[in-house]
Structure 1
Amino acid sequence: MARSSSGIIVATLTVAALAGVGFLAVQAEAAPDHPATHASGQTAGKAKDGDQGKDKATGATGQEQGKAPNAIPENSGTGLRVVYGLAQKRVWLVGSDGKATRTFEVAPSTVSPPPGSYAVTSRAPTVTGSDGIPIEHVVRFHRDAAGVVFGFSAAVDGSSPKPDATKKTGGIREQPADGRAMWEFAVNNTPVVVVP
């Protein structure tokens, strides 16, 4: 009789252990993918305080995006490119395989480039921004007919711009880590696609 009780106890524990493993497997399957890693080893942008309920990689809520993390905007070209979403105030660094390696929010200035396809025209390690703030990792991609230059950059001190509405400037400010990633990714002639 004691053996039968032991056998039942062992069988019960085995069933409980298998159920626990099955539960963990279901949880792992339902968990979101890990953020994409850029060639530099840095991961896609993380959610900031106050962004609860938003996708940590793209910043969009499920209702806004309805797509997987790092979802690249539709009609944004193919292959290796930088994608800048005007309405989302977000950039995607897209590898030659067509997958986003990094995405992050940006702070635009007073003028935005028109949607279209461009290419990196020039770069500068450090300059002074139109707002008088020292900036680094400047990646320029367009100059409009009025002479406004559009490009990505990061303030050395990590500050966000406070654009003067009376000035027409086209700087697109990034956080320093994102600026470094852009600098490493977007060499001269790298395609830049601006979407609405």
Structure 2
Amino acid sequence: MPARLPSWAWVSGLTVGAIAAVTFLAVQADQGPHPTAAATKPAPTTSAGKDPAPKETAPARVPDGSGTGRRVVYSVEQKRVWLVDASDATRRTFTVWPGTVDPGPGSYTVSSRTEGATTGSDGVEIERIVYFAQRDGVSVAFSNAVDGSSPPPPASGTKTGGIRLHKADGTAVWDFATTGTKVTVVG
């Protein structure tokens, strides 16, 4: 009667065979064509009631006197925000829709954040709220509408401190401006 091979020998043989097959296939794949990804910008889409992000022709320069180091810079006059890294390089800049209550020029820090959806003072559902100032009893914060829409015109005499962002910009501010991040407001 022929001798039987132990089960460990079968398992070892199958494992060696599988490794050899995978190695062969990897070598074959490495010798084939390699796809390359082209760097493209997605085309903006517009839905009814939503404003597309504005097209930038050249990045706006960070305002003089806005400090140094990692910070968020908000220009009330230009209605623009810059996200500036520790080496003073602009990582992102974009326009915003300010509320009716502007923070005074100066240096602030992000005091708190709320990620989930809530209703803003203008009645719109907002998210990713980054609070950094108070003025005239109104909290001033960056946020974006959940549906990506621009804010409605405020009712006469209404005090709103929300600085509304496009949805993608709201995500960028949320990721960049953690609690304690410096926010510089210029005229």
Q: Same fold judged by TM-score > 0.5? A: yes
Mapped contact 1:110–1:164 kept (Cα < 8 A): no
Amino acid at match of 1:153: S
- Do structure 1's residue 161 and structure 2's residue 151 form an aligned pair? yes
Structure 1 residue 70, shift from structure 2 partner: 4.0
- Do structure 1's residue 83 and structure 2's residue 73 form an aligned pair? yes
Amino acid at match of 1:177: A
Amino acid at match of 2:172: A
Q: Percent identity, aligned pairs only?
A: 54
Distance 1:166 1:77 in 2: 34
Structure 1 residue 143, shift from structure 2 partner: 1.3
Distance 1:160 1:135 in 2: 11
Structure 1 residue 47, shift from structure 2 partner: 4.4
1:107-127 superposed Cα distances (whole Å, 9 cap, x missing partner): 011111111100000100122
Q: Which residue of 2 aligns with 1:56?
A: 57
Give runs of ≥4 in structure 1 deviating > 6 Å: none
Distance 1:128 1:79 in 2: 33
SS class of match (1:193):
strand
Q: Which residue of 2 aligns with 1:121?
A: 111
Structure 1 residue 165, shift from structure 2 partner: 2.8
Distance 1:56 1:104 in 2: 11
SS class of match (2:149):
coil
More relative contact order in 1 or in 2 (CA 8 Å, sep 6+)?
2
| TM-score where L is the length of structure 2 | 0.68
Q: Say which of 76, 92, 95 aligns to 2:82.
A: 92
Say how many residue pairs are matched: 135
Q: Say which of 172, 177, 182 aligns to 1:186.
A: 177
Superposed counterparts of 1:18-33, under 5 Å: none
Give unmatched runs, 5+ long, in structure 1. Answer: 1-45, 49-54, 58-68
CA RMSD of aligned residues (A): 1.8
- Do structure 1's residue 176 and structure 2's residue 167 form an aligned pair? yes
Distance 1:167 1:93 in 2: 29
Superposed counterparts of 1:38-57, under 5 Å: 47-48=54-55, 56-57=57-58
Distance 1:101 1:76 in 2: 15
Name the stretch that deviates more: 120-129 or 160-169. Answer: 160-169
Distance 2:173 2:180 in 1: 13
| TM-score where L is the length of structure 1 | 0.65
